[in-house]
Structure 1
Amino acid sequence: MSRLIDCDARLSIKLELDNPGGSHKFRAASHIVERAIARGDMVPGQTTVIEKTGGNFGFGLLAACQKHGIEVALAIGPGFSQYKRDLLEGLGAELIGKAQLQAGATPREVIDYHLAHQHALGRHYYYTDQFNNPGNVDAHRRFTGVDLGRQLISAGHSRRLLFVGCAGTGASFTGVVRALRDLDFDVRAVMVEPEGCDTLAAQFVEHRLEGMCVGVTPPFLDWTLVNEVFKANLDDVLAAQRRFYCDQGFHVGNTTGACLAVAHQLREQATLEDRHIVTLGYDGGHWYPDLMQESRNAA
């Protein structure tokens, strides 16, 4: 169970960066892996997990698979940082389709090729498919959201909540809000997205808030759970990251900074005074070293 920190009397954050793999994505990765092993779909020593990701899900898969002796093969698009690619490879992931990707293939095309030719390649692949695997939502409903609810109850916080979150696949947002409602919390949910993006209209722009608005409509986002949508810009994100580090000593990632920036805006609204605000610390800021220069410039 990751820690719940009370920033003040009105705002709490659950530090999912405490998880193995360094993010909330370990929840889904480990749940998907454990279920596949239990079904016999994944056999330690024989199966290789295959996925298209160079982000937190990749690190979560490594942490979940390596303890079972299961190899991990990742197709990572050129848009991901070289730092992450090098680190994933250094930690034991096989980066597949490098030549294909350099020639213009998409990560999905690389996955499809390897699945179609797995016997010729001498492999037995299991595609975790995070954007289509229902275990993704199930993990956050059964674990992340339940953990959060129990921690809020233990801390004596109000059952009237304002949950501030974001969506890549939409699995954590949907799973956490549903879990809190299962536990009889009165939840008002706010989704955060970068300036220039409109998730509902499937309009996306390039931005630095990695982990949200990833260029596709979030397949698991239940829009009936979303009460409001707020925008975040990079300056506000960097300021929120610095503020949280000064106050709590944790350097959180970009999506967390965005949610904290919006949470600070919302806490000033008189109409929300009776709701306790809660968000997730999705990952750590160490994944995004190039933003440090931007942060210094913003300061």
Structure 2
Amino acid sequence: MTELARYNDRLYTKLELNSLGGSHKYRAARHIVQRAIERGDIVPGHTTVIEKTGGNFGFGLLAACYRHDVQVDLAIGLSFSPLKRKLLECFGARLIGKDMLRQGLTPREVVEHHVQCQEQLGRQYYYTDQFNNLDGVEAHRLSTGPELAAQLIEQGVGKRILFVGCAGTGASFTGVTQSLIDHGFDVDAVLVEPAECDIRKGIFGDHRLEGMAVGVPPPFLDWSLVNEVCAVSLEETLDAQRHFYRHNGIHIGNTSAGCFAVAKQLLDRNDYQDKVVVTMAYDSGLWYADILEEAGEAV
């Protein structure tokens, strides 16, 4: 169980950066792998898991697969964190299709090529396909959400909750929100997106908040659960990141800080005065040190 950090009587953050694998993605990876083993889609010692990922889901897959003697092959876009790519290789993942990516192919195309040619490549692949695998939503509905509900009940915060989160696949946003409702909470949910994007309209500009608004509409985002969409800028994100560290001594990641920035703003809104605000620290900010240089900060 990951800790629930208290900012004040009305704002809490669940520290998923302390999960195995370093992020909330471990929960989905573990559940997807376990279900695939139960179905016989993954045969330990024989099957290789293959996925396209910007990093966090890859670390989750490595942590979930090692205990089952399952190899992991990953296609990672060249624009994603160089540190994550290096560490994934160091920890045992095989990064596939590097030349193909340099030639302009997408990570999805790299994965599709390897799956189609698996016999020639001497592999037996299982594609975890996090953007189309409903087991990812189930993971958060059965794991993250119930943990959070139990922690909120232990804190005695009452049943009126404002959940502030973001969406890549939308699995955690939907799974956690629905789970809180399952546990009897009266939930309003706010979706955070980068200022450069409009997820509902399918507009995805360039931004540095890796993990949200990843270039495609979130396939598992249940829009009926979204009460409001709030945009956050890079400047607001970095300010919230510094603020969270000064208050809690924890360096949270960019998407986490973006959500925290919006949560702090909403605390003072009249229509949310009767609600306790909850956010997620999805991963650590240590992955993204280069963002300070990009934003004109001194490292």
Q: Same fold (TM over 0.5)?
A: yes
Partner of 2:206: 206
Partner of 1:174: 174
Q: Distance in 1 between matches of 2:270 and 2:296?
A: 33
Q: Distance in 1 between matches of 2:295 and 2:283?
A: 17
Distance 1:298 1:145, change over 3 A: farther
Deviations 1:186-245 (A, max 9, x none): 000000001021100001100011100000000000000000010100111011011110
Partner of 1:133: 133
What is the aligned-residue identity percentage? Answer: 59
Question: TM-score if structure 1 supplies the norm length?
Answer: 0.97
Q: Distance in 1 between matches of 2:65 and 2:230?
A: 36
Deviations 1:72-127 (A, max 9, x none): 00011112122211111111100111111111111111111111111111110000
Partner of 2:28: 28
Distance 1:163 1:298, change over 3 A: farther
Give the Å deviation of 1:297.
2.2
What's the C-alpha RMSD, in Å, of the aligned pairs? 1.3
Letter in 1 for 2:71: E
Partner of 2:230: 230
Partner of 2:267: 267
Q: Distance in 1 between matches of 2:162 and 2:56?
A: 25
Q: Distance in 2 between matches of 1:296 and 1:98?
A: 30
What's the secondary structure of 1:120's corresponding residue? Answer: helix
Q: Distance in 1 between matches of 2:94 and 2:109?
A: 17
Q: Distance in 1 between matches of 2:293 and 2:251?
A: 15
Deviates more, 1:117-126 or 1:218-227: 117-126
Give the Å deviation of 1:295.
6.7
Q: Distance in 1 between matches of 2:155 and 2:74?
A: 40
**Residue-pair matches, total:** 299
Contact 1:84-1:287 within 8 A present in 2 as well: yes
Partner of 1:244: 244
What's the secondary structure of 2:203's corresponding residue? Answer: coil
What's the secondary structure of 1:250's corresponding residue? Answer: coil
Letter in 2 for 1:107: P
Contact 2:81-2:287 within 8 A present in 1 as well: no
Partner of 2:11: 11
Q: Distance in 2 between matches of 1:98 and 1:166?
A: 29
Letter in 2 for 1:173: F
Q: Given the alignment of the two structures, is residue 191 of structure 1 paired with residue 195 of structure 2, yes or no?
A: no
Letter in 2 for 1:64: A
Give the Å deviation of 1:296.
7.4
Give the Å deviation of 1:43.
1.1
Q: Distance in 2 between matches of 1:82 and 1:298?
A: 20
Listed as ranges, the matches of 1:94-113 within 5 Å are 94-113=94-113
Partner of 2:77: 77
Give the Å deviation of 1:40.
1.5
Q: Distance in 2 between matches of 1:27 and 1:14?
A: 14
Contact 1:48-1:72 within 8 A present in 2 as well: yes
Letter in 1 for 2:280: L
Deviates more, 1:267-276 or 1:160-169: 267-276
Q: Distance in 2 between matches of 1:98 and 1:51?
A: 14
What's the secondary structure of 1:138's corresponding residue? Answer: helix
Partner of 1:65: 65
Contact 1:51-1:129 within 8 A present in 2 as well: yes
Give the Å deviation of 1:257.
0.4
Letter in 2 for 1:166: C
Contact 1:235-1:298 within 8 A present in 2 as well: no
Q: Distance in 2 between matches of 1:298 and 1:176?
A: 36
Contact 1:188-1:227 within 8 A present in 2 as well: yes
Distance 1:20 1:61, change over 3 A: same
What's the secondary structure of 2:197's corresponding residue? Answer: coil
Question: TM-score if structure 2 supplies the norm length?
Answer: 0.97
